[in-house]
Amino acid sequence: MDEKELLRLEHLHKEFGGNVVLKDFDLSVKKGEVIVIIGPSGCGKSTLLRCINGLEAVQSGKITFEGAPVEKNSKNISQIRQKIGMVFQSYDLFPHKTVLQNIILAPCKVQKRKKEEVEQEALQLLERVGLNDKKDAFPRELSGGQKQRVAIVRALCMHPDILLFDEVTAALDPEMVREVLDTMLELAKQGSTMLIVTHEMSFARAVADRILFLDGGELVEESNSPKDFFDHPKTERAQKFLQTFEYE
């Protein structure tokens, strides 16, 4: 493998007051990889993503992104976060700003790019997700699916090297889920590096290069072939977990 390693997690250990959420966790992510992380609620998936962009501090272990250490309170954390796009489960748009203002805020203020240039790019991105007519709308005027697509555009406009998706469709009505997943699928096709936490199993199967199954803060099963994993999970815990999604 001569592909470039983007992100490396070594012996990550994270606990909340004695409750261990991540146990000695290792992961290496290469450029262009789409990794889907699944597992039961409370297995540490979301915490893992939050540690990667330094929203949570870890007790021990090391996170390296593009050669630089990620630490919650370090000085360069803002620099690193600019390169890591994150979309959350809750609609996290800024309610007092329009769609366009939401998107251009960080590129203009953090990256100090020219407003005209950023606006132009924002409009192109909005067009790609079919929302260019909503550029002057406020978040409260959008549906849940539209908000999440704007949140994705907002992350993309920073030109991140990796995108983290934390259960972005979990709070959506079923008919809204599709439009968001389609957007993500498109990004995957274009070669974006993505780490996706989701409960949408058929989407995971379609989008993933690699599947990680977490339970109790540990990596229980890993597979480079989503098809194999979903059809013939090797571990008992994964089998049990996947069965909960099936109906007889």
Partner 1 sequence: MQDLGIDLLFKGSNFLRLLNGLWVALRISLISVVISIGLGLLVGALMTLQNKVLKVIMRIYLEIVRIMPQMVLLFIVFFGSTRVFGWNISAEISSIIVFTFWGTAEMGDLVRGALISIPRHQYESAQALGLSTVQTYVHIIIPQTIRRLIPLSINLITRMIKTTSLVMMIGIVEVLKVGQQIIEANRRTSPNAAFGIFATVFFLYFIVCWPISKLAGFLEKKWS
Cβ 210 vs Cβ 188: under 8 Å: no
Q: Is 192 in the site for partner 1 (CB under 8 A)?
A: no
Q: Is 125 in the site for partner 1 (CB under 8 A)?
A: no
Q: Is 105 in the site for partner 1 (CB under 8 A)?
A: yes
Q: CA-based Rg of the chain, rounded to a whole angstrom? A: 18
Q: Is 76 in the site for partner 1 (CB under 8 A)?
A: no
Selected from 59, 110, 202, 224, the binder of partner 1 by CB under 8 A is: 110
Residue 73 CB partners (closer than 8 Å, separation 6+): 57
Closest separation between CB of residue 92 and partner 1, Å? 4
Core vs surface per residue 121-144: b (16+ CB within 10 A) or e: bbbebbebbebeebbeebbeebee
Q: Is 130 in the site for partner 1 (CB under 8 A)?
A: no
Cα(126)–Cα(136) distance, rounded to whole angstroms? 12
Selected from 92, 209, 218, 222, the binder of partner 1 by CB under 8 A is: 92
Q: Is 55 in the site for partner 1 (CB under 8 A)?
A: yes
Paired tokens of 122: 């924002």
CA atoms within 13 Å, Cβ hemisphere of 91: 22
Give the chain's largest Cα–Cα span: 56
By beta-carbon proximity to partner 1, the closer residue of 148 and 223 is 148
Q: Is 25 in the site for partner 1 (CB under 8 A)?
A: no
Contacts to partner 1 from residues 221-240, by CB under 8 A = none
List residues binding partner 1 (CB under 8 A). 53, 55, 78-79, 81-82, 84-86, 88, 90, 92-96, 105-106, 109-111, 151, 154-155, 158
